[in-house]
Amino acid sequence: MRVAALQMVSGVALQANLEVADDLLRQAAGQGAELALLPEYFCLMGRHDTDKLAIREPFGAGPIQHFLAERARELGIWLVAGTLPLDLGPDTSMHGQPRVYNSSLVYSSTGQCVARYDKIHLFRFRHGAESYDESLVLCAGRQPVQFALPSRDGHTWRIGLSVCYDLRFAELYRAYAAAGADLLLVPSAFTHTTGEPHWEVLLRARAIENLAYVAAAAQGGLHDNGRRTWGHSMLVDPWGTVLAQQAQDAGVVVAELDIERLNTLRGQLPALSHRVM
């Protein structure tokens, strides 16, 4: 199955970000991708964390979700939309403070939304003047989510969803592997500070320990809000080999995922069946 990880440097204007995403999705489809993955916050990297509240949508409706469904249908690709802000539902705030879910939506090639994952682990980090706390605006999800993609290669791929900071919590990916996942997705907006020492190491570790492919679509560059993200979108095979990557700036990273290689490696090293804890 041919997979594309789309790298962006999203700014503060929603429409401009959608136009970039549109161009990258068309490039991915033109390169034969069957599955395309957008990065976290593809639709907006605002000047303030609260800016995402202004573009939040109810699940199943809104211009961002309409755009995603239309592009998946038009291009005939499976599309995993990095993340977008979704309403909490009937309760639109927590303890009187507005909150949203940071949600990854999966669209089939017919434009139907077939899966939703709400980011479970919320990033908090302080390093000098650099400070982040997603819990001030986001509500954490609670459930791991997988979906099935019947590929043109004849295999139905089982795919586990995650987002950015989730990458540091190996138990989430172990649960996916135990449930039979072949491919793990990691749309992200890793900071430059944490990405440089940890990003590739963590992605390759998740692939190796679970004998699964990993696709990671990242934000990569200097944003309008002054934030700098690490980028290095990449696709990693079950042996930890980086198949393709892009360091910085917007672009499309494409690689062919081979289910026979995955099965061979799992047969040669049946570590998943050796677990005792």
Using CA atoms, how far apart are residues 219 and 38, in angstroms rounded to an integer? Answer: 9
The model's pLDDT over 22-38, given as tens digits with 9 standing for 90+, comes to 999 999 999 999 999 99
**pLDDT value for 136:** 93
Sites in the chain below the pLDDT cut of 70: 90-96
Catalytic hit among 34, 43, 52, 119: 119
Catalytic hit among 34, 52, 134, 164: 164
Q: Is 164 assigned a catalytic role?
A: yes
Do strands 100-107 and 138-139 pair parallel, antiparallel, or not at all (unpaired)? parallel
Using CA atoms, how far apart are residues 187 and 146, in angstroms rounded to an integer? Answer: 15
Using CA atoms, how far apart are residues 110 and 114, in angstroms rounded to an integer? Answer: 10
Using CA atoms, how far apart are residues 161 and 81, in angstroms rounded to an integer? Answer: 11
Instruction: Work out the number of other CB atoms within 10 angstroms of the CB of residue 20.
Output: 16
**pLDDT value for 62:** 98
Catalytic hit among 40, 57, 134, 200: 40
The model's pLDDT over 202-257, given as tens digits with 9 standing for 90+, comes to 999 999 999 999 999 999 999 999 999 999 999 999 999 999 999 999 999 999 99
**pLDDT value for 16:** 98
Q: Which two tokens stand for residue 16?
A: 């401009």
**pLDDT value for 94:** 59
Match 């993200």 to its residue by tokens.
229
The CATH number of the domain where 7 resides is what? 3.60.110.10
Q: Which two tokens stand for residue 47?
A: 């000047």
Beta partners for 160? Answer: 146, 184
pTM above 0.75, yes or no: yes
The domain tally of the chain equals: 1
Using CA atoms, how far apart are residues 102 and 65, in angstroms rounded to an integer? Answer: 14
**pLDDT value for 90:** 65
Number of residues that this document lists for the chain: 277
User: Which residue range forms the structural domain that includes residue 19?
Assistant: 2-274
Please classify residue 179 by burial: count the beta carbons closer than 10 Å to its beta carbon, then call 0-12 exposed, 13-18 middle and 19+ buried.
exposed
3-state secondary structure of 3: strand
**pLDDT value for 91:** 62
